[in-house]
Chains A and B, each alone.
Chain A
């Protein structure tokens, strides 16, 4: 409907004019509900909640401008065209003209979503900002079983799988991964790209099911859009690394379902640049004109590269990349000189993604792996069984949780607690801010101490070197612990000094009579346990300082103060309760 034309009896302003129900929208767009839903999803137009629901509470409302925005979408015309074409095909089929139907199907009109992506995300940063949902969806559909009933084709599942691997390869290549959290739902990852924090959820390696309360048609429409979006994003990201985008993978590795590894090799090889290319040309000069042939050779050649030291390879490339912030460097060097081997039962996909992202070298049990289990240089063997069969003395056998915890803490944690057959310490969420929550779990405190120790530990400890292959980690741990204790002592000293300073300041303030604002700090002074030993009278004085201003305050302020106190008390009580619970639990055990 043109904007200057208003039919008689139609409202001119207000909610009645600004919003229309879904059925009205369908009528004015002349499409069916299915098409409308698709169009809305693809175009990013969602229902709104008007202040006044003119037609009642049980309707869905859309903004009139949104609908007219849809009206001008060229895709609408395209969808109509497709619909009429489908009718032709149906007609041919109904007339038993199979040949015509087949012919028509081969020439079916198609549509592209490129323009819409550009329209919805004018800049690349916009696209990155909205990638959370996209990544989660693509990762989810990569593990769903193909199903005729839900119209989920094998091709699409494979495409999702490819896209997700491409994304992971890029992230691990650029060491942009920041946090990992293994929850019941799945594994949460957080990466930082161009200042944007991107969080996504990948399912565990178990069979996902189709449930009845989910409309998969809608999800598939979303997926269609997201596939395109992720493809373009990957394209941009890969080109920023000077890597050709639709990557050509080693078919052997692909067949062995080691796509991610194949991809990382591809990136390594192609960002290493011309040398490899030249080699290929030299070796296959007779048939070099055939592009596909040479690409195949390239992929094969990638496999022939010295596989024992991809770390060295990475260094070669890494030197070229200039701008890296502090965190990226820290992430890159976390597992720098460590070599991992994954057992059969550990979540391979996830670890193959996480370990290279933090600078580690990985292999796994199975064909196509870069190195075998009996490699002497392996430092860590990831295992998730109650007991390992044959154990090499040169390496440590740890549970997969150790890797995730190390990654989150950015420190190589002592492996003692994570050894085979033991119940590992709790897996803490890196997404929770303990300070804000007010309660810090025990293990978080331990990790903090270790972190502090690692930060102080600029030089390696003199007594412990790499030569001590028997148990380097334990010795390191002992050293770290002593260091940690030292740090803690220093910390308490500092704290006491601070408390004293605060106390003096408060006394001063009391003299000037402006202590009202800082009353809240008084109980803290009181609570400090170091205080009482050093200044015996402090408690009494603090009590007075706390009381005086309350007496002087107006009623209103006093009430406010009381309310504040109650709030604080509640918070501390809840913390106390948690602690109590914990104590009880321990007692039970």
Chain B
């Protein structure tokens, strides 16, 4: 019983526990001295009374003695005795709070800009300079504009400060305007296209025009027929193959699918037959081979050794020859290199030549040259008044743009 009681006590007050431990021991001693005590029942009132603790009383006494020794109870003492107002550094509360607020956290202070550390920009510093310069230019032109306004005109001289700024423009690394091709913007027609040409050159041009026209015709005639976009169901039956298949279906009562299967099985049979025949051949071969005797084996091994020797020697010879012909090889290599370079140059030139005639392929459609503008023989009158001139110059311009690779050639621009 005593043990259960003890365990429920707080662990901290060690001395008290010691005391409690001692009390039952004493009782036990007392019991053993009396002798008869053990025989009585412990269920009675007396026995229980013995178990009532006087701890709280003891505690109180202990405490009061302690207080007396230390100089009085604290809770009873007035607060003035306990506390005093410190008036030495009297900072206003508001300021205190502000001071607290001013203090930056380290994580923030680290992110703050340091005036002593130079900024590393991600963009090029060059652009900054050019920006400044352009600003200057703009202001200049603005001034000029004002001047011109005074003159009575609205425009400005765009290239007025050419002389000053030449250097800057050359410095600009990006070449903005790059010619797309070597084809000139305005191609002058050949002499045969004159309104009053010489007979020879006119005939030449006419021949060219006819050739162009005929090329189109031939292309239409000789080229593969375009695949039809839609096929009629009725047409399909009229087709010979279609008719045949339909007939087959009707006659055999089988679908095309089964026919296909039949064909496959036939093929398999054929393959089987072939296999058999080849096996038979192998058997025959096996029978015809002779046994290899020791003599033959020896002979073979000797020959093998001999061959090995020979090849070795040959290799040696070859090597020595190659060493001898080193300069020759070097020469050959040089020649090869030269040829390669020539080839490269040739290819480049050829490409340029092609580009002169034909524009680059920029989109889905190829560029189609416009028809040559040339007079027919009966239209040649020699009079400027009666000239049957070209009235589609806009098309000519458009085609020129396409030819120079500025526009992407397209078909069917208009929807009507």
Contacts and interface: CB of A to CB of B under 8 A. Distances in A.
A181 B413 contact: no
Given A44-B177, A121-B177, A136 B397 contact: yes
Nearest to B385: A384
Nearest to B415: A212
A208 interface: yes
A36 interface: no
B189 A47 contact: no
7 contacts: A47-B408, A49-B360, A181-B188, A183-B194, A213-B398, A426-B194, A429-B189
B196 A427 contact: yes
Interface stretch (B155-163, B222-230, B264-272, B314-322): B155-163
B392 interface: yes
A231 B157 CA distance: 10
Interface string A230-241: 011001100100
A188 interface: yes
A216 B176 contact: no
A122 B160 CA distance: 11
Contacts of B400: 133
A204 B389 contact: yes
Contact of B194 (A61, A122, A123, A182): A182
Contacts of B410: 215
B384 A347 contact: yes
Nearest to B165: A122
Interface stretch (A9-17, A111-119, A485-493, A528-536): A111-119
B373 interface: yes
B391 interface: yes
Interface of A: 4, 44, 46-49, 57-61, 65, 69, 114, 117-124, 126-127, 130, 132-133, 136-137, 140, 144, 181-186, 188, 199-201, 203-204, 206-216, 218-219, 222, 231-232, 235-236, 239, 244-246, 291, 345-347, 384-385, 399-401, 423-424, 426-429, 431-432, 439, 441-443, 578-579, 581-582, 585
A400 B387 CA distance: 13
B398 A428 contact: no
Contact of A236 (B159, B198, B200): B159
B363 A60 contact: yes
Given A124-B159, A222-B401, 15 more contacts: A49-B360, A114-B158, A133-B397, A184-B374, A184-B387, A186-B393, A210-B394, A213-B398, A236-B158, A245-B153, A384-B385, A399-B384, A431-B188, A578-B204, A582-B199
B42 interface: no
A244 B149 CA distance: 12
Contact of B158 (A65, A130, A232, A443): A232
B196 A441 contact: no
A214 B188 contact: no
A60 B413 CA distance: 17
A582 B200 CA distance: 6
Contact of A384 (B151, B177, B383, B390): B383
A123 B169 contact: yes
B231 to A, nearest CB: 26
A246 B151 CA distance: 11
A132 B387 CA distance: 25
Contacts of B194: 181-184, 426-429
Interface in B362-416: 362-364, 373-375, 381-385, 387-398, 400-401, 405-408, 410, 413-414, 416
Contact of B394 (A144, A182, A399, A441): A144
B169 A401 contact: no
A208 B393 contact: yes
B286 interface: no
Contacts of B190: 429, 432
B196 A186 contact: no
Identify the interface centre among B186, B400, B401: most chain A CB within 10 Å of its CB.
B186
B204 A133 contact: no
Nearest to B411: A213
B166 interface: yes
A120 B177 contact: yes
B204 to A, nearest CB: 7
A429 B188 contact: yes
A47 B385 CA distance: 43
Contacts of A144: 394
B33 interface: no
Contacts of B387: 184, 204
A443 B382 CA distance: 15
Contacts of A424: 196, 382
A154 to B, nearest CB: 17
A130 B180 CA distance: 12
A575 B84 CA distance: 129
A71 B11 CA distance: 79
A399 B362 contact: no
A69 B173 CA distance: 13
A137 B393 CA distance: 9
Identify the interface centre among B151, B159, B407: most chain A CB within 10 Å of its CB.
B159
B159 A127 contact: yes
Given A60-B408, A127-B159, A183-B194, A47 B375 contact: no
Q: How large is the interface on B (under 10, 10 to 19, 20 to 34, 35 or more residues)?
A: 35 or more
A137 B397 contact: yes
Contact of A231 (B155, B199, B381, B407): B155
A214 B395 contact: yes
Given A114-B158, A232-B158, A432-B191, A185 B393 contact: yes
Contacts of A49: 360-362, 405
Contacts of B388: 184
Interface of B: 122, 151-159, 162, 165-166, 169, 172, 174, 176-177, 180, 184-186, 188-191, 193-201, 203-204, 360-364, 373-375, 381-385, 387-398, 400-401, 405-408, 410, 413-414, 416
Contacts of A423: 381-382
Contacts of B383: 384, 399
Contacts of B169: 122-123
Contacts of B154: 246
Contacts of A231: 155
A188 B361 contact: no
B23 to A, nearest CB: 81
A298 B166 CA distance: 39
A329 to B, nearest CB: 26
Contacts of B397: 133, 136-137, 140, 219
Contacts of A65: 174
A77 to B, nearest CB: 16
Given A114-B158, A184-B195, A244-B151, A213 B395 contact: yes
Given A60-B408, A184-B193, A585 B384 contact: no
A49 B172 CA distance: 25
B391 A59 contact: no
Contacts of A123: 159, 162, 166, 169
A136 B360 CA distance: 23
Nearest to A57: B361
Given A59-B363, A140-B393, A212-B416, A183 B185 contact: no
Nearest to B154: A246
Given A231-B155, A236-B157, A244-B151, A211 B394 contact: yes
A424 B196 CA distance: 8
Nearest to B155: A235
A245 B155 contact: yes
B414 A212 contact: yes
B413 to A, nearest CB: 5
A60 B359 CA distance: 14
A574 to B, nearest CB: 10
Contacts of B394: 140, 144, 208, 210-211, 214, 216, 219
Contacts of B197: 426-427
Given A122-B169, A426-B196, A291 B186 contact: no
B8 to A, nearest CB: 67
Contacts of A432: 190-191
B413 A215 contact: yes
A58 B363 CA distance: 5
Contacts of B401: 218, 222
